[in-house]
Amino acid sequence: MKAFAIDKYGNTPLKLMTFPMPTVGEHDVMVEIYAASVNPVDFKLRDGKVKVLLQYDMPLIMGNDCAGVVTQVGSKVTRFKIGDEIYARAPKARIGTFAEYIAITEDAVALKPKNTSFEEAASIPLVGLTSYQVLHDVMNLKSGEKILIQAGAGGIGTFAIQLAKALGAFVATTASDAGFELVKSLGADKVINYKTEKFEDMLQDYDAVYDTLGGESLEKAFEIIKSGGNVISVSGVPNARFAREGNLGLLKTFLFSVLTWKITKLEKLHNAAYTFHFMSDSGKQLEIIGKLIEEGVIKPVIDKVFSFPETQDALNYSESGRAKGKVVIKLK
């Protein structure tokens, strides 16, 4: 089969390579991929920026989420059959959706929402699961609470705004002029133009911040949080608590403690909790998300669709930061 892969870490173009067909385990489904989407983790992984958390053998097929059709099932698979239209976020240890086929454990797979195309379905798994886990599982965001969602017009932001509104929250977000109307249409209650305004000067007493940027934006988030609030990041640096809970060992626990000393200081200063979230694949949660999509509560937001031979162009476009919503690769 054909797939786009890397043979070493670094900011170099992906290579179109030929690989053997994936091996289907007893709990796996073979998926013929019709569409895949691009996420920031793809170019971070390519550059080797997540090596401290994830280790891979080379060559490595890139891509994390997809939609397609089941063409083979393992002997112990019970939830799917050949011909099912599905979508999935591949488990971290078995990524590789920039390819014609992938074998995925059935626990990570869900039936594609009936009212979506394969391209729309492929745009959802990673951003959907990340946001569901952050807002529902970790934050336990409640009706009436106030949340800032950074970069509202991005892939994560466009999903998170809709989910937060469905949970009954008051949503503030940051966007440029180009993304203003989009985030308003998705339900954002307050929009800060990050090019001319500072969110830390305009917001106060917020219950939660969903940080997708890291760096200075993450540090500034503590200035708007009320006592007892939550700052959850998917782009910042993991802290010592994350390392301990993940049993990453004393060395990484110490390393993350040193790297996040300033964040830890801000936690204590503002009496707020900082959490680094590293999403997990979940077919059951994709089923929940799928129902929200079928009910019209959440709609996929796609900026641009590229063909399979244009996979590198898709990665470049996503990395440019210009995309409003998701960037998708169409294979079928």
Q: What does the alpha-carbon distance between residue 324 and residue 41 come to, in Å, rounded to a whole number?
A: 17
CATH number of the domain where residue 196 is located: 3.40.50.720
User: Phi/psi class of residue 203: alpha, beta or left (left: φ > 0; alpha: ψ in -120 to 50)?
Assistant: beta
Looking at the DSSP bridge assignments, the partners of residue 103 are 30
Stretch 145-155: mean pLDDT, rounded?
Answer: 96
CB atoms within 10 A of CB 181: 13
Confidence of residue 97 (pLDDT cuts 50, 70, 90): very high
Q: Which two tokens stand for residue 3?
A: 């797939």
Same structural domain, 317 and 192: no
Closest to 127 (Cα-Cα) out of 61, 43, 220, 65: 65
Q: Residue 261: inside a domain, yes or no?
A: yes
- Residue-wise pLDDT tens digits, 155-179: 999 999 999 999 999 999 999 999 9
Better-predicted residue by pLDDT, 32 or 51 = 32
Same structural domain, 183 and 76: no
Q: Residue 27: inside a domain, yes or no?
A: yes
Asked if pLDDT for residue 96 goes beyond 90, the answer is yes
Same structural domain, 107 and 221: no
Query: What is the residue range of 246's domain?
Result: 127-276
Stretch 302-314: mean pLDDT, rounded?
Answer: 98
Same structural domain, 176 and 304: no
Position 294 scores a pLDDT of 98
CATH number of the domain where residue 42 is located: 3.90.180.10
Contacts of 269 (CB under 8 A, 6+ apart): 222
Same structural domain, 267 and 131: yes
Write down the pTM of the prediction: 0.95
Could you give the number of structural domains in the chain? Answer: 2
Q: Which of 35-39, 116-120, 164-168, 250-254 has the lowest mean pLDDT?
A: 250-254
